Homo-oligomer: A and B are copies of this chain.
């Protein structure tokens, strides 16, 4: 319609080779007239580049909304800026079968890169060792434990937990319990390690009677605090490994007539927007989730751009979380 060949149209649109001003104009008007929209599948086929990033997360069932949503926001913004579309994949179990089904699908779609953001559970990243990397697009892990052989963006959970516990110690707490997430999650483990580390620094009790495992959900926070109180009547502070479980702990405190912070200090993890509307407002650890998502995309983009040829060595990005102090942990009331 513009009286030129498809090759010229291609050049006009991608700008890879110069096109005469006159033809350029004719092409643009023709495009507008026809409502033409380039077919990205065809373009991808020809370019061997889909401009699609695959993001793999655990099914957003009843837990972990906050983390995934925030990270996804960060991912999306950056991906959009760099011209990628994002394809979402869900994995529920750690069954290798399901993992490989997902990987196959990603491979079949010829995604340019993968952000693997499944919360890590003991051994559910082992498959990485079994694959030939050249069979798959570049892979960046989000929120998993750093490994020098892999590209990883993570938050320093241990440091965050230490921050929380050290703060409570400073506020005068001496018997500090912890409500962890499921024992096999990496994030649980490192938050537990942070709790332990901070207590050891201060020569305080880290006995197992101070540890109870939750499942991230509020109800397990309720039960968790009950158990802790039974085991340790002298308990004077609790670190809940996420805000939702902290909410459950607050529930139990109310039910037992315990005042937070007068009788018990409490700190959570995540710093969800609701935390400041808990009663009392909850001190929590803020993670740069949005930022971590963004970094993961940048990282992946670099690897993709550099081409698989020049072997770029994997990098580790560790973000430091931050303590947000609110009333639940302030012995001296404000």
Query: Can you list, as one digit per residue, whether each of A215-229 has a CB less than 8 Å from chain B (1) or not (0)?
Result: 001110110000000
Which residues A192-234 have CB closer than 8 A to chain B? 217-219, 221-222
Stretch at the interface among A37-45, A121-129, A138-146, A173-181: A37-45
Give chain B residues whose Cβ lies under 8 Å from the Cβ of A38. Answer: 108
Question: Is residue A250 contacting chain B, with contact meaning CB distance below 8 A?
Answer: yes
Are A276 and B35 in contact, with the CB atoms below 8 A? no
Q: Is the CB of B277 within 8 A of A247?
A: yes
A185 interface residue (CB < 8 Å to B): no
A109 proximity list for chain B (CB < 8 A):
40-41, 85
By a CB distance below 8 angstroms, the chain B residues around A298 are none
A108: chain B residues within 8 A (beta carbon): 37-40
Assembly stoichiometry (copies) = 2
CB pair A62 B273 closer than 8 Å: yes
A309 to B218, CA, bound (A): 51
A110 within 8 A of B: yes
Task: Verify B44–A60 contact, CB threshold 8 A.
Answer: no
Mask: chain A, 314-329; 1 = CB below 8 Å from B; 0 = not: 0000000000000000
Of B60, B72, B135, the residue contacting A73 (CB under 8 A) is B60
CB of A162 within 8 A of chain B? no
Tell whether, in the assembled complex, residue A104 and residue B37 are in contact, meaning their CB atoms are under 8 Å apart.
yes
A29 interface residue, CB < 8 Å from B? no
When distances are taken between beta carbons in the complex, the residues of chain B under 8 Å from A183 are: none
A313 at interface (Cβ–Cβ under 8 A)? no
* Interchain CA distance A41-B110 in the complex, whole Å: 8
Min CB distance A75 to B, Å, is: 10
Instruction: Of the listed stretches A86-94, A150-158, A163-171, A261-269, name the one at the interface; the rest are far from the partner chain.
Output: A86-94
Cβ of A88 and Cβ of B88 under 8 Å apart? yes
A219 contacts which of B52, B107, B276, B279 (Cβ < 8 Å)? B276
**CB-defined contacts of A86 to chain B, threshold 8 Å:** 87-88
- Closest Cβ of chain B to A273, distance in Å, is 5
Chain B CB within 8 A of A244 CB:
yes
- Closest residue of chain B to A71 (Cβ to Cβ) is B60
Question: Does the CB pair A37–B107 fall under 8 Å?
Answer: yes
A135 touches B35 (CB 8 A): yes
B35 touches A45 (CB 8 A): no
For the complex formed, measure the closest distance between the CB of A71 and the CB atoms of chain B, giving whole angstroms.
Answer: 10
* 13 sampled A-B residue pairs with Cβ under 8 A: A35-B132, A35-B135, A37-B108, A39-B110, A40-B110, A61-B73, A65-B65, A72-B88, A76-B88, A76-B90, A85-B87, A86-B88, A88-B88
Residues of A in contact with B (beta carbons under 8 Å apart):
35, 37-42, 44-45, 50, 52, 55, 59-63, 65-66, 68-70, 72-73, 76-77, 80, 85-90, 104-105, 107-110, 132, 135, 217-219, 221-222, 244, 247-248, 250-251, 254-255, 273-274, 276-279, 281
Name the 8 nearest CB pairs between A and B, nearest first. Answer: A218-B277, A60-B69, A254-B279, A248-B277, A41-B41, A65-B65, A37-B107, A40-B108
If A37-B108, A217-B273 are given as contacts, then 10 extra A-B residue pairs at C-beta distance below 8 Å, sorted by A number, are A35-B135, A41-B110, A52-B87, A60-B69, A76-B88, A85-B105, A86-B88, A219-B277, A251-B281, A274-B274
